[in-house]
Structure 1
């Protein structure tokens, strides 16, 4: 059984009458790369800031490495956070910036700076001033800072935001290396959904401050990679039959009298039979593929995830 690194129960953060996160119950297990997926304002950053101690939840419970209450302060030291862009000194080199934070954090190991620069592959640019860095290099330095306390877990909010494809690939490769070679558990949010799909082992979809879906990669592939799609002569009647006969069915009516069903693939013959027995004409009954981005957009609504 995997160790649970982070656990929340009914976590809430309320601002006046607005809930930034609501009844947020979540577990992060050792070894995972967990993608937190949601539109801007869905509650991802609020959740991460609650975990880091930057903000305090209104109510609910939180455990970090099985610690609660005041003991969480010590437990947080085992996590590297990169929630907002770190404020590095523009006229300092990468080496000088990390040395400054090493002293601020009270890390006794003096060669930790060179180790971190090597891990994020900035060792050959360590003498270059931060203000001269590209966006990708700045993000890598931010990742180096989050790794300085040799964490067991990384929590990264939009680490590839603003990067070009090459920069995003660099960060993705580094995260996979940290997870596979250093056994670092990772929780990451991003709008680049296909990249989370490439590195993630689990996907948590968030909407309006709530978790609306929590899937392993295997579950994602079995549900979102395939969907039942067909055309009928009467969509209103067809949806009535579907809702009456199949509890928990997840579907959407498309243009041109088409219907797509996202779950219950194992019941596709039964669905076909039930519709036909109720006098509904069915055309082109097929099982089609769907990627993570399409699944996300259908799940939380809207045509764009920005």
Structure 2
């Protein structure tokens, strides 16, 4: 599989603050990779390093196998949307893209019509930018990214501020670009539930360090259903579980809660086991972790150890 982006021990300091710390990361052709982290985790800084908007303090970036002086040429194969593009409010979509086409030296005259069609703005080409909805503005931003026919898109919060319909439109557009045009996508968003519908890989970043890197299948496995039981005797409950189920996977949580990760299909039997042996079950429920819960739980736990 071809490597689009590769970083080796990449770091970035601003004054005394190290925002990116010795980061090793690779993005393969065809992936939709979600970069997930809280504000200040280093997401936008990593994107700006890849775009050449800021220079690394140390380490190396390779794009399409190119590095050093060849990076600028390689960046032309990537469409970056890191901050909202400065479109002219009184220009139409076509006029705005014509300006950037000249600025960026894109020779193909038909490309503007092609990208407006791809992002669903072909019928809105005469409407002025200031009359656009937020969703239309974001789609025009993606059209600008596509102007130079890139192999990869790097998108920082492309669905920020959109309503539910706008979010769905952007998701469908990005899936179409990935599946039909084979465009690799590296994306960040605060809307983790939406990333779960879009991405096939999830990279969690905290304080400039990658703390987890999961495929969609691995995330589904880690965030699958579990049994939560509030009991009056955690020690006795643990012994009963271990004696009855040799492969039991469970955690003891605060407030005398036991979280059982496997044997969910035996939830009724486990409840009966406790009751039959005199354990008072105060609360019993089955739930699935969301992407948010996985991030706030497992990742936070891991990085605070």
* TM-score, normalised via structure 1 length: 0.83
2:291 aligned with 1:292: yes
The runs of 5 or more residues in structure 1 that have no matched partner are: 240-248
Structure 2 match to 1:51 = 50
Give the corresponding residue for 1:92. 91
User: Offset at 1:162?
Assistant: 0.5
Report what 1:136 is aligned to: 135
Where does structure 2 lack aligned partners over 5 or more consecutive residues?
A: 239-248
Match of 1:194 in 2: 193
Question: 8 Å contact 1:157–1:190 — kept in the other structure?
Answer: yes
Structure 2 distance, partners of 1:228, 1:209, is 34
Mapped to 2, the partners of 1:223 and 1:287 lie a distance apart of 15
* Contact residue 235 and residue 253 of structure 1 kept, 8 A: no
Contact 2:233 2:280 in 1 (8 A): no
Cα distance change, pair 233–16 in 1 and its aligned pair in 2 (3 A)? farther
Q: How many corresponding residue pairs? A: 282
Contact 1:35 / 1:203 at 8 angstroms: preserved in 2?
yes
**Greater gyration radius:** 2
Name the CA shift for 1:250/1:24 in 2 (closer, same or farther; >3 Å).
farther
Residue aligning to 1:122: 121
* 1:106 equivalenced with 2:85 (yes/no): no
Aligned to 1:149: 148
Structure 1 counterpart of 2:66 = 67
Q: Spell out, residue by residue over 1:255-301, the C-alpha distance to the aligned partner (whole angstroms, 9 max, x if none).
A: x3114477xx59xx9xx9xxx9xxxx796898742121211221454
What are the superposed Cα offsets for residues 4-46 of structure 1, whole Å, 9 maximum, x if unpaired? Answer: 1111122111112211111211110110000111111111000
Partner of 1:38: 37
State whether residues 94 and 125 of structure 2, in contact with CA within 8 Å, keep that contact through their aligned partners in structure 1.
Answer: yes
* 1:250-269 aligned within 5 A: 253-254=253-254, 256-260=255-259
RMSD: 3.0
**Aligned partner of residue 120 in structure 2, secondary structure:** coil
**2:250/2:258 contact within 8 Å kept:** no
Secondary structure at the counterpart of residue 13 of structure 1: strand
Question: 1-side partners of 2:32 and 2:216: how far apart?
Answer: 10
Alpha-carbon distance in 1 for matches of 2:107, 2:237:
68
Distance in structure 1 (CA, Å) of the matches to 2:252 and 2:46:
30
1:253 is displaced (CA, Å) by: 2.6
Q: Distance in 1 between matches of 2:114 and 2:56?
A: 35
Structure 1 distance, partners of 2:34, 2:64, is 20
Between the aligned partners of 2:50 and 2:233, the Cα distance in structure 1 is 49
Q: Does 1:165 align with 2:164?
A: yes
Show the counterpart of 1:178: 177
